[in-house]
Structure 1
Amino acid sequence: MADGLVISSTDPIRSFLVAASGDRDHLSDELRILAASLSVLSSVPYKSLRSIWCALPVSSRPSLRVLLDGSDFVFTSPKPRVKSEELKARLQKLAELVEQREYTELVKDVVPKKDDTEPFSSYKDQIGFGLHVVLVMFTGYLVGYATFRALFNHNPIMNAAGGILGLVGGMLLETVLFIIRASTKDMVKNNATSSASRLKIKKHQ
């Protein structure tokens, strides 16, 4: 079907086209062939019909108003747009992002905020932990020194040994506390991950 305005074919239009297809005196072969092909159609392009009508003399053609009487416009539905593969991929990605956002919103009260920072990841943490260890070891040394001094009657060697023993004890205590804190943090993280996984499975069921 030609582009542009299309009208429905009526009996006056078909009669006009049939007559025009046999008019060798006023129409070219091209227009007569066009008129013959349009005469069998249920709708015709207005531009083609008008070109045939204009080529005929006034005495051999009906008025345009009479010719178009009873004819209606014919509208064709546009072809559905075909989504490209790139567009499909983008839509799929957007759908996944929306689903992930909905899932995050669903489990925000169950899963704690993700903490990707490693222990002592900053200089401030390292310095703070170092000072804390030094303080604990120094305190252990003083406690050990004072204890052995009271037990061994001011013996310098035993006092120093007690201080060293207290220092080592403080260091061991700090190590044990660090291991406990790290293990507790991992346990909480694993429990939260397990809870989130169960919620996600229930959501997709």
Structure 2
Amino acid sequence: MTYIVDDNIKKWVDMSKEEVDAGYTGTGDLWGDDWSAGFYPDGKVFCYFGPAWLIDFCMAADDESSIAHAGGWAATTGPQGFSWGGTWICAANGTDNPTLVADIIRKLTVDTEIMTGIVKQDNDFVNNKPAMEAMAADASYGDAVLGGQNALSMFCEGANKIDKSNICEYDQGCNESFQAAMKDYFEGNTASYEEALEAFYTSVSEKYPELTH
């Protein structure tokens, strides 16, 4: 199987390199201390790009010294839509309790009342369109991390645009290899884009010997 690096990826590399060189963005590892320093007032970070679950589950809202705990963030639509992750619920083949398992799955997907309760309690974006659209229109709902803002209409609009038609089992591994290779380029550890690209190709070959470029 052959893979290619799309021209749009190169545009992202060029834009990111320009922003890093200008000091507009950092290169801290995702989930690392440098990356999360901006969750606190001394961090001096203007914004984060991320999925809906970043807000309430990753920005240290339970820490009284954080910006999130004080309701100091706000959400807006980014320059380009994307999606990341989700929570999967699966039934084991051959289960002794198929009826119970089916009921649990239905309760955690198509039961609008339960889904609405999860949104209200946890500010999570659930996989139930009627529940999310109702909460997006609910003037009484607001996310404390966002200072009471109801950002759900933006998230609903973004969810409607998700296209997973080209997803495959290699996506995550290739994405991680590309980001690691380009990080070295952005930080000056790799002399050129071409050299970084070769490092990416090498990494992918080690992970997935069946792929060629």
Given the two structures, how large is their TM-score scaled by the length of structure 2? 0.17
Given the two structures, how large is their TM-score scaled by the length of structure 1? 0.18
Q: Over alpha carbons, which structure has the higher Rg?
A: 1
Q: Which has the higher contact order (CA 8 A, sep 6+)?
A: 2
